[in-house]
């Protein structure tokens, strides 16, 4: 797992410098998933994490786990999430920066649902710069709003392990039951149509500007997220390994 990618990096380094120098930073693979709610960020992030052996970090999953566990963080996040609003930056940024400092992040990670605001992106850039690091790719999974509404209505989520399914496009083996952990699947409260509309408008106002931000950093790649999900994955792998 991950072999082909890291081999590629070594080959590229060899080609560039004609000498093998072990540079820890180059071994890392740090990816941001951008895109509207329901674009398929989580679906693709899990596949990327599996292929390259790096953790999938979803801020939404972390919040939902905290809500389920009844923590103070969960209680703070819940009212915003239920209304389709963003959890405030002062809660979210510290939580994410702590998470990427954990030991399992040393070979990189794929961020799903963070950053969602310009201040979040700036905090991430700054925190990484202090360690001499930067993100490698921001992958924008592009899906128009019309398609999002269909996807969200059919999404079913496992609140135990974070897996997501779609009743038509990606069904579980047994209806209503998670393939990974056998927990019951649910229609998330915030996936109901009124809240989805709200989340889409929050996305356009606060998150879409990140596309320009990462274009400016020279790390933006865009994939057509309306294709079949395995095809989207192939397109992503092709750009990561180009």
**Which residue number has the CB closest to ligand ADP?**
60
Q: Give the C-alpha separation, 242 to 240, whole Å.
A: 6
Q: How far is the CB of 160 from ligand ADP (least distance, A)?
A: 15
Alpha helices in the chain (DSSP H): 3-17, 24-27, 41-52, 59-68, 72-82, 89-99, 118-130, 145-154, 193-202, 209-216, 229-240
C-beta closer to Zn ion: residue 174 or 234: 174
Residue 172 binds ligand ADP (CB under 6 A): no
Decide: residue 206, CB within 10 A, 0-12 exposed, 13-18 middle, 19+ buried.
middle
Say which of 46, 116, 151, 156 is annotated catalytic.
Answer: 116
CB of residue 47 vs ligand ADP: minimum separation in angstroms? 10
181 binds, among Zn ion, ligand ADP, none (CB under 5 to 8 A by kind): Zn ion
Helix and strand totals (H; E) in the chain: 11, 7
Task: Tell me if 162 contacts ligand ADP by CB under 6 A.
Answer: no
Q: Report how far apart, in Å, the C-alpha atoms of 86 and of each of 66, 167, 207, 231 are.
A: 16, 27, 10, 30
- By CB under 6 A, how many residues form the interface with ligand ADP? 37
Residue that has been written with the tokens 């410098």 in this structure: 17
Residues that bind ligand ADP (CB under 6 A): 35, 37-43, 59-60, 63, 80-81, 84-87, 92, 113-114, 116, 120, 151, 154-155, 164-166, 169-170, 190, 199, 225, 227-229, 232
Active-site residue set = 41, 116, 155, 188, 199
Residues that bind Zn ion (CB under 5 A): 158, 160-161, 163, 178, 180-181, 183
């Amino acid at each position: 797992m991950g072999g082909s990618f890291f081999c590629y990096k070594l080959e590229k380094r060899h080609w560039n410098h004609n000498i093998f120098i072990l540079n820890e930073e180059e071994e890392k693979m740090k990816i941001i998933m951008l895109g509207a709610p329901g674009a398929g960020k989580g679906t693709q992030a899990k596949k990327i994490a599996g292929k390259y052996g790096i953790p999938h970090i979803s801020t939404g999953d972390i919040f939902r786990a905290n809500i389920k566990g009844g923590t103070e963080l969960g209680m703070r996040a819940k009212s915003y999430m239920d209304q389709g609003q963003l959890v405030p930056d002062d809660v979210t940024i510290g939580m994410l920066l702590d998470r990427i400092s954990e030991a399992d992040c040393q070979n990189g990670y794929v961020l799903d649902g963070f950053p969602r605001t310009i201040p979040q992106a700036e905090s991430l850039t700054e925190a990484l710069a202090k360690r001499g690091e930067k993100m490698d790719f921001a992958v924008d999974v592009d899906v128009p709003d019309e398609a999002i509404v269909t996807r969200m209505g059919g999404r079913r989520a496992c609140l135990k392990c974070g897996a997501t399914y779609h009743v038509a496009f990606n069904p579980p083996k047994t209806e209503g039951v998670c393939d990974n952990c056998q927990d019951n699947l649910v229609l998330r409260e915030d996936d109901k149509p009124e809240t989805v509309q709200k989340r889409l408008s929050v996305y356009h106002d606060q998150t879409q500007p990140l596309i320009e931000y990462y274009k400016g950093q020279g790390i933006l790649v865009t994939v057509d997220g309306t294709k079949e999900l395995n095809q989207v994955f192939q397109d992503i792998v092709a750009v990561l390994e180009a």
